Chain A
Amino acid sequence: QVQLVQSGAEVKKPGASVKVSCKASGYTFTGYYMHWVRQAPGQGLEWMGWINPNSGGTNYAQKFQGRVTMTRDTSISTAYMELSRLRSDDTAVYYCARDPATTPYSSSPYWYFDLWGRGTLVTVSS
């Protein structure tokens, strides 16, 4: 069925990097934009950026510019989000979420999320 399967929980030390994966199945991976959203414990949702799996183009939230890198491997229908120089306040559940805008027909995403992964808990602790 149509789903996004994310990698398992991670524990990292401050200053380290983490790379979270999101494998798409049941639809054409390169056909839809993919966003990343995070949620700190007990807090709200925070948009991080998107990747166009067809072209590899990206757009990052200003807050994460210089620390986040979104990539994809089309051969295995998987998107990745890498966050570097981790701090304790990066502790959160990280979600991948599909945008219904179809690539390459749409030059930009529709800016909403119709399919979500289950989330990956990243804990940053010394």
Chain B
Amino acid sequence: SYELTQPPSVSVSPGQTARITCSGDALPKQYAYWYQQKPGQAPVLVIYKDSERPSGIPERFSGSSSGTTVTLTISGVQAEDEADYYCQSADSSGTYQGVFGTGTKVTVL
């Protein structure tokens, strides 16, 4: 089955930049989306269609795509950004199926 691979953890100091990668063979053909999930809460969409930011999401969140890898960048990290982050896309190899990345824990030092 199709997989999206993320690093398990990223640590960053306040004010620095955090970069979270997500790799998958179908990413050149399918958009990627990013969600932030804090403990005990539902996920929140932070990036859609690789690099678009929903209304209400701070400008420090940005997304980019290059080949089979997409990247979520958090510039000027704040303590409130500590959370789990998941990439997500669609597997179009057969009947379309949704697929999530393995998740990355962002720790603000």
Q: Which residues of A contact B (CB under 8 A)?
A: 35, 37, 44-47, 50, 59, 61-62, 95, 97, 108, 111-114, 116-119
**Of residues 82 to 107 in B, which have CB atoms within 8 Å of A's CB atoms?**
86, 88-90, 95-103
Interface size on B, residues (CB 8 A): 27
Which residue of A37, A108, A112 is within 8 Å of B96 (Cβ)? A108
Known: A44-B102, A45-B103, A117-B42. A112 touches B48 (CB 8 A): yes
Measured between beta carbons, the chain B residues less than 8 angstroms from A35 are 98
Nearest chain B residue, comparing its CB with the CB of A50: B98
Q: Provide the bound-state CA to CA distance between A95 and B44, in Å.
A: 12
Q: Provide the bound-state CA to CA distance between A37 and B30, in Å.
A: 19
Contacts between the two chains (Cβ within 8 Å), count: 62
Which residue of A45, A47, A108, A114 is within 8 Å of B97 (Cβ)? A47
B38 CB to closest chain A CB (Å) equals 12
Measured between beta carbons, the chain A residues less than 8 angstroms from B54 are 114
Contact A44 B86 (CB under 8 A): yes
Measured between beta carbons, the chain B residues less than 8 angstroms from A46 are 100
**Of residues 34 to 68 in B, which have CB atoms within 8 Å of A's CB atoms?**
35, 37, 41-45, 48-49, 54
Q: Provide the bound-state CA to CA distance between A117 and B41, in Å.
A: 10
Q: Provide the bound-state CA to CA distance between A97 and B30, in Å.
A: 20
Known: A111-B90, A116-B42, A117-B42. A61 touches B100 (CB 8 A): no
Q: Provide the bound-state CA to CA distance between A95 and B43, in Å.
A: 9
